[in-house]
Amino acid sequence: MKHIKSSLFSSSRLFGCLIGCSFVAMAACSKSDSVVMCPSVTAPEEGARVFVQTDESKQIVNARFNGVRSSCKAQNDGTIKMEIKAGLKLSRNLNQNALADIVAVPMMTAILDANDVVISNDVFGYRNGFDKDVAKLYPVAEMDFDVPVGGRIVLSLQPNH
């Protein structure tokens, strides 16, 4: 019986693997050529944590940012399309009220250019509901912006109490 030497890393297998990996890498790069580094996202200290009231019982809720993620793509008009997911932490004292209620967290955003000049701003509310006997929520607010190259985004929570 003749013994045939076979290796997992034979030159033909290695060459085929390298060719396949090269095609995958080139395909991935060609689809992601518009992905760019994101502009900075900042929040003023006084806007990172606020107190807001619930709609029905007027219970005080402590709202704060709990992390921010972003992904960015270059656009044909020279701006950067920025998709932001801002995590929030909403907490209330169940000893005061444990009933279901709604809370609206007012938020402000500003887009600044490379010279820190405000290009646009917006104010909106992010609504979330507390179920009965729930003390903490960790929702994620999603936002999209068109930011000039060299610009940045400022996010801020706004108290309603």
Token pair belonging to 39? 């502009």
Length of the chain: 161
pLDDT digits (tens, 9 = 90+) for 42-61: 999 999 999 999 999 999 99
DSSP 7: -
Q: What is the DSSP string of 54-114?
A: BTTT--EEEEEEEEEEEEEEE-TTSEEEEEEEEEEEEEE-TTT--S-EEEEEEEEEEEE-T
pLDDT digits (tens, 9 = 90+) for 30-46: 344 589 999 999 999 99
Q: Is pLDDT at 99 greater than 90 in this prediction?
A: yes
